[in-house]
Amino acid sequence: MSEQLPVAPVTMKDFTTENKPDWCPGCGDFGILNSLKKALVDMQKQPHEVTVIAGIGCSSKLPHWLNAYGFHTLHGRALPIATAARLANTKNDVIVISGDGDGYGIGVGHLVHAARRNVNITMLAHNNQIYGLTTGQASPTTDLGHKTKTTPKGNFEAPLNPMTLAIACGAGMVARSSAGDPKHLTETIKEAMQYKGFALIDILQPCVTFNKINTYAWYKDQAVKLPADWDPTNKAKAFEMALKWGHNDIALGTLYKDTKLPTLEDAYPWLVEKPLIHHDLRVDVTKSLHTYL
């Protein structure tokens, strides 16, 4: 019997593709991609152990530039696809890449249900408060008064608060980080991936081309890290903190985390036994239907 050769340590190069990202120079998506790679390397994840599902938007092209399993799916539909991927193979870490338009607009209904089901996946929401791919229209998170192509006299619609929404819908972990703080973002991604349940990280991600208000400097001035003694198990306090948005009020860190919340896959005993992909799913047509009911 031959001896098993030692596995070489994983490096950033293992997750780097030959093709280079075509995001605008200075785009916050670069920081998110690099932080994700760094998190995977720190955790020594092998590329075949990671599945990345993305919707539509600038951010959602990320699977093309990460050497791992990837699926670039329909607009707003990343979460149901990711749910299926996770239930099919519970051995793989499933990461959802979404933007504020993709995940908080057309896909917001799926966010509600993924949160309440507590599916064991990590959602990285690139929130630049604008539709970047379609050249600068107002998104669900655009601030009031912001002038865009679709709101030339200023945005009249109150922005969606993804943090309060996720907490209210039962998400197991809700956090916020920034593309301008790669160290903090890397650590937050690692925490979310290690969490057993649905983890949303709302990432402040400047669009350097179409959003001249919510810039790196603006976020740096407005955001503040949660204190070291912050208790993420206090749901009421987390919700209260999530409501804040303004100077020194945009909290960075894990606002809420419930470590005792059961996941969706916990409800299926056959998934606890082994991943669905290892089960024999063939049906014996010679048996009557009631045998399988």
Return the minimum-mean-pLDDT range out of 83-87, 152-156, 186-190, 267-271: 267-271
CATH number, domain at 79?
Answer: 3.40.50.970
Q: Say if CB 37 and CB 12 are below 8 A apart.
A: yes
Distance, CA of 189 to CA of 43 (rounded, Å): 10
**Is residue 1 one of the residues assigned to a domain?**
no
The model's pLDDT over 72-92, given as tens digits with 9 standing for 90+, comes to 999 999 999 999 999 999 899
- Give the domain range for residue 183: 16-292
Give the C-alpha separation, 127 to 154, whole Å.
19
Q: Report CA Rg, the chain.
A: 20
| Six token digits for residue 158 | 């109150």
Q: What is the mean pLDDT of residues 34-55?
A: 98
Average pLDDT over residues 142-157: 95
In a domain? residue 11: no
Predicted confidence band at 292 (pLDDT cuts at 50, 70, 90)? very low
- Judge whether 10 lies within some domain: no
From CA 8, how far away is CA 264, in angstroms rounded?
34
> Does residue 5 lie in a domain region?
no
Q: Is residue 196 part of a domain?
A: yes
277 in a structural domain: yes
Alpha helices in the chain (DSSP H): 28-42, 78-88, 100-101, 108-117, 162-168, 182-194, 216-222, 235-242, 269-273
> If you average pLDDT over residues 135-146, what whole number do you get?
95
Residue 9 lies in a domain: no
Residue 6's contacts (CB-CB under 8 Å, 6 or more residues apart) are none
Other beta carbons within 10 Å of 284: 8
83 within domain boundaries: yes
Could you identify the residue written with the tokens 């499933």? 94
Task: Indicate the SS3 state at residue 86.
Answer: helix
Residue-wise pLDDT for 260-288, tens only, equals 999 998 888 777 777 777 777 776 656 55
Dihedral sign, CA of 185, 196, 101, 176? negative
- The total number of structural domains in the chain stands at 1
